Chain A
Amino acid sequence: MRSASEHDKVEGFPVHFALNLVLVSSESRSKVLLAMARSTSKDAQALLHSFRSAYAATPTNLKIIDLYVGFAVFTALIQIAYIAIVGSFPFNAFLSGLLSCIGTAVLAVCLRIQVNRENKEFKDLPPERAFADFVLCNLVLHLVIMNFLG
């Protein structure tokens, strides 16, 4: 078996010519790509900046709900990493733990939607009613979780 470099050398003259052309075009292409990357990174930075400034304007209670959702999702991710490492032996316990995190996150998100004053859809819903629904659903969720945990 001839090595790859030897193969190239045998094909010799025309390959070198083709490579040269490619190299020349790739140079310009990389310049274009670089320009594109720079522009997308600039766009991403601009996006993040605008997001941060808009988020600073949200009310504190919504920020607290966001923190709570983040905590729930983080716990869910820990459990997924754990089952990937150790294996799924008490699968019911895994499902129960995961479902408690996801359920908590979902219910908190629902609360945030209903409590957000800028949301036109829930303008007429008193926030106390939303909170009561949230508490009741959480009670049911935790009842189910404790039963399934085993």
Chain B
Amino acid sequence: MPKLALFLILIHFLPFLCTSFSPENPSSRRVLVLLDDLALKSSHSVYFKSLQSRGFELDFKLADDPKIGLQRYGQYLYDGLILFCPTTERFGGSIDLAAILDFVDSGHDLIIAADNNASDLIREIATECGVDFDEDPAAMVIDHTSYAVSETEGDHTLIASDDFIKSNVLLGSEKIEAPVLFQGIGHSLSPANSLVLKVLSASPSAYSANPKSKLSSPPSLTGSAISLVSILQARNNARILISGSLVMFSNRFFRSGVQKAGTPTKHEKSGNEQFLTELSKWVFHERGHLKAVNIQHHKDGEADEPSMYRINDDLVYSVEIYEWSGRSWEPYVADDVQVQFYMMSPYVLKNLSTDKKGRYFTAFKVPDVYGVFQFKVEYQRLGYTSLSLSKQIPVRPYRHNEYERFIPAAYPYYGAAFSMMAGFFIFTAVHLYNK
């Protein structure tokens, strides 16, 4: 009996387990972490702990573990993937390049860290994401003016970079004071790709070459074109982080002090922890993830949505936009959301004003053109998910009896016609009774 009671009680918790994850409330997500070497679990423990403290369940597996898989029976087992396995030539289990690309295409997030002995597979995954690592397998990013000062005279592959992208969404609102330590390979972004962004670029004096051999020809990747850490936000709002250094995630780099060559300030702690933690918040949709709900439009003065507008009507359009904060949907506050009243080209383009509680609204007059229009909101901002809303509505011309009854410009003519009638009456009276 008590066992039955216990069972019944526990059954009631099942719905809560099911609601702990849903696309509407992306919390408590499962992330698969593929490693080359299980020692990474301890050598990168600070980074993993920062993820786990935010509610992520990390599943650590070796990259060639034969039992790993991203999906089973058509359902994805994980909500995110972290590839900290730069030397892996082939994944175990059912994971391969196509599986990873499908994973991203279905809207899930990905973090890839390469290193100076990155395998072809990792390079191929990065190329599919629009990021091209340097083809030379032995090349590393070298910077002779922006390296991190250390006691030993190194080969200047350990560089200190503070060339961050300017975005509060990506990197958080707190400024990163200390430069970020980096040691690894650099990549360039394909210029045709409009979805990749450089989050941490190398200084103009950096170049990508083999540190152990003399330079025989000018290096192909130089200067600020080298990106050290990049992000990609796909059109289905999946987010990918690609870093050229695995060791920048390590505890050693998180805790070490840094002094950029040529500057007098020595920072106690490098900016790695703040930089990578804030960036991982963005990658896992804890910042900059927008949703737009409740699109409404109606005539000024009425409350329900008509099926058709007439030209020169006054109408009110409103939409609610929320941003996911990691735990709940918060109202999104911005002053640059615009709505278009569009038919082949926008006839009306207006900024939406907000009541700061997530509701955006505006009022305008329907243009003097009839046809089938759309209310379009196209909102693409750096670091935010793109909003592409569209609602179709027809606009009709005036009905026959909706024109003004008496045209003011024609009043003289009305007056003339009526005065002729009056004159006729008066004349007939005078003519008849005149002797």
Contact = CB atoms under 8 A, between A and B. Distances in A.
Interface residues of B, number: 20
A111 to B, nearest CB: 8
Contacts of A98: 413, 416
B420 A96 contact: no
A26 interface: no
Contacts of B216: none
A135 B425 CA distance: 10
Interface of A: 60-61, 64-65, 68, 71-72, 75-76, 78-79, 82, 86, 89-90, 93-94, 96-98, 100-101, 104, 108, 131, 135, 138, 142, 145-146, 149-150
Interface in B404-435: 407, 409-410, 412-417, 419-421, 423-424, 427-428, 430-432, 434
B413 to A, nearest CB: 3
A71 B423 contact: yes
Contacts of B420: 72, 75, 100-101, 104, 142, 145
A138 B434 contact: no
Interface in B340-366: none
A90 B409 contact: yes
Contacts of A142: 417, 420-421, 424
A97 B431 contact: no
A104 B430 contact: no
A98 B416 CA distance: 8
Interface of B: 407, 409-410, 412-417, 419-421, 423-424, 427-428, 430-432, 434
A68 B427 contact: yes
Contacts of A135: 428
A132 B99 CA distance: 101
Contacts, number: 75
Contact of A79 (B416, B421, B427): B416
Nearest to A108: B427
A78 B427 contact: no
A82 B412 contact: yes
B410 to A, nearest CB: 4
Contacts of B421: 100, 142
A83 B155 CA distance: 91
Given A60-B434, A61-B431, A149 B412 contact: no
7 contacts: A64-B434, A76-B416, A90-B407, A94-B413, A96-B413, A97-B414, A104-B424
Contacts of A96: 413, 417
Contact of B413 (A64, A72, A97, A104): A97
Contact of B417 (A61, A78, A108, A145): A145
A146 B416 CA distance: 11
A141 B435 CA distance: 28
Contacts of B424: 104, 138, 142
Nearest to A82: B412
Contacts of B413: 79, 90, 93-94, 96-98, 149
A72 B421 CA distance: 11
B416 A101 contact: yes
A112 to B, nearest CB: 11
Contacts of B409: 86, 89-90
Contacts of B407: 89-90, 93, 150
A108 B427 CA distance: 10
Contacts of A82: 412
Tell which of A64, A100, A146 has the most Cβ of chain B within 10 Å: A100
Given A96-B413, A97-B414, A75 B427 contact: no
Contact of B416 (A60, A90, A97, A150): A97
Contacts of B412: 78-79, 82, 97
B427 A64 contact: yes
Nearest to B424: A138
A75 B417 CA distance: 9
Contacts of A86: 409
Contacts of A72: 420, 423
A72 B423 CA distance: 9
Contact of A97 (B417, B423, B428, B430): B417
A82 B409 CA distance: 10
Contacts of B423: 68, 71-72, 104
Nearest to B427: A68
Nearest to A111: B431
A29 to B, nearest CB: 49
